[in-house]
Copies of this chain bind each other. A is one copy, B any other.
């Protein structure tokens, strides 16, 4: 069979061919008015996507670098924070906090469930010394969407700052940073922003900046004060990942042209149709409160989840993701984030049907694709 490689994984996600070629533009120097014009354009357009008037900082790193920054540049050793362990990425905030001597009050949530904002509210009411609450918009490892709007309503009434990892959610799941009152929003390049990995982003509210000014954790590369000083001169303190920033300018133009609300609506429709398609195949979703970035589906009994993902990738060219950590072998995850339309997902569903059939799972061939189409068209 002719195998075509096709990405439907929750990061990296597909990059538009035109953007890949744009990034193949001959390299140029970054300490020039030419680059500064691009960077100025990019930092302004990022604010629109982040739905904020706050500064959005750009790092040459993967998303974890910005997650670290949200801890190392805001806190001091011994500070108390709330983290939510409801998946691999929520868990990571706790690990980073621990590494920097932060006292983490970890809310354990069954992987596949969203965190209850009431638990956060109770904790904040009980302990006024909590400096910040670390949450995840779309938890990539489980496909769960946390209710950041409700959490923000709770946190914004207190002295604590709300940090949200929107690495996989930004651009897929609605996030109204300023309107809801989210103080720090973290993103990465390789998800909804349709770029290769290598850039991370962080927006910081005035309320959060007060923490930055008091922070006593040593830092250098990710030191936000250095970034702020540079940003005020339309610059970054260290050599930027020039080609990715050039690509960023293009994808931000694409998002602007489509319109943020329209982008959200497209993702909602893709995700809804994907979920219905999976159910039509007799499969169960992991989450009751699912993200529009990625759909996590339980591998049916009798099918080896590892084999399924491997077969799709190595024999059929379609890269999905499996489960991580405790969910290894039990899940497959279809991303419908970023540069993704209905026909991309239809391809993916057809491939999943083909692989499931080959692995002996019994269902009506075509039922998933048909249901996707019906739901999409409605």
* Chain A positions near chain B (C-beta within 8 angstroms): 5, 7, 9, 11-15, 17, 20-21, 23-33, 60-65, 68, 72, 77, 95-96, 99-101, 188, 190, 196-198, 217-223, 237-244, 313-314, 319, 321
Q: How many copies of this protein are present in the complex?
A: 2
Q: Inside 8 A of A61's CB, which chain B residues have their CB?
A: 60-61, 65, 221
Q: Which residues of B have CB within 8 Å of A221?
A: 61, 64-65, 68, 222
Residues of B within 8 A of A62 (CB): 60, 238-241
Asked if B238 and A64 sit within 8 Å, CB to CB, the answer is: yes
| A23 near B23: Cβ-Cβ < 8 Å | yes
Q: Which residues of B contact A23 (CB under 8 A)?
A: 20, 23-24, 243
**A-B pairs, 9 with minimum CB distance:** A198-B241, A20-B24, A62-B239, A24-B24, A196-B243, A64-B238, A99-B220, A197-B239, A62-B238
13 CB-based A-B contacts, threshold 8 Å: A5-B26, A12-B28, A12-B239, A13-B27, A20-B23, A20-B26, A60-B197, A62-B241, A64-B220, A65-B238, A99-B220, A188-B239, A243-B243
A319 touches which one: B14, B28, B219, B242 (CB < 8 A)? Answer: B28
- Contact between B99 and A218, CB atoms less than 8 A apart: yes
Which of chain B's residues has its CB closest to A21's CB? Answer: B24
Q: Which of A64, A95, A96, A221 has the most B CB atoms < 10 Å from its CB?
A: A221
Q: Which residues of chain B are near A95, meaning CB under 8 Å?
A: 220
Q: How far is the CA of A81 from the CA of B203 in the complex (A)?
A: 36
Known: A12-B242, A99-B220, A239-B11. A60 touches B319 (CB 8 A): no
Which of B11, B24, B25, B29 is within 8 Å of A9, CB to CB?
A: B29
* Distance in angstroms between the alpha carbons of A241 and B27 in the assembled complex: 17
Residue numbers in B under 8 Å from A239 (CB-CB): 11-12, 62-64, 188, 190, 197
Kindly state the separation between the CA atoms of A238 and B239 in the bound complex, as whole angstroms: 20
**A313-B32 contact in complex given A218-B100, A221-B68, C-beta closer than 8 Å:** yes
Query: Are B220 and A218 closer than 8 Å at their CB atoms?
Result: no
Residues in B with CB closer than 8 Å to A188 are 239
Q: In the bound complex, do residue B196 and residue A241 qualify as a contact, i.e. CB atoms below 8 Å apart? A: yes
Residue numbers in B under 8 Å from A13 (CB-CB): 27
Query: Given the interface contacts A96-B220, A198-B241, does A319 sit within 8 Å of B64 by beta carbon?
Result: no
User: Contact: A243 with B198, CB < 8 Å?
Assistant: yes
The answer on a CB contact under 8 Å between B217 and A68 is: no
A359 vs B7: C-alpha distance when bound (angstroms): 54
Query: With the chains together, A321 CA to B31 CA distance in Å?
Result: 9
A60 is contacted by which of B28, B60, B96 (Cβ under 8 Å)? B60
User: Which residues in B have their C-beta under 8 angstroms from that of A190?
Assistant: 27, 239
B313 touches A219 (CB 8 A): no
Contact yes or no, B15 A20, CB < 8 A: no
Query: Distance (Å) between the CB of A224 and the closest chain B CB?
Result: 13
Contact A29 B100 (CB under 8 A): no
Task: Select the residue from A60, A188, A217 with max chain B CB neighbours within 10 A.
Answer: A60
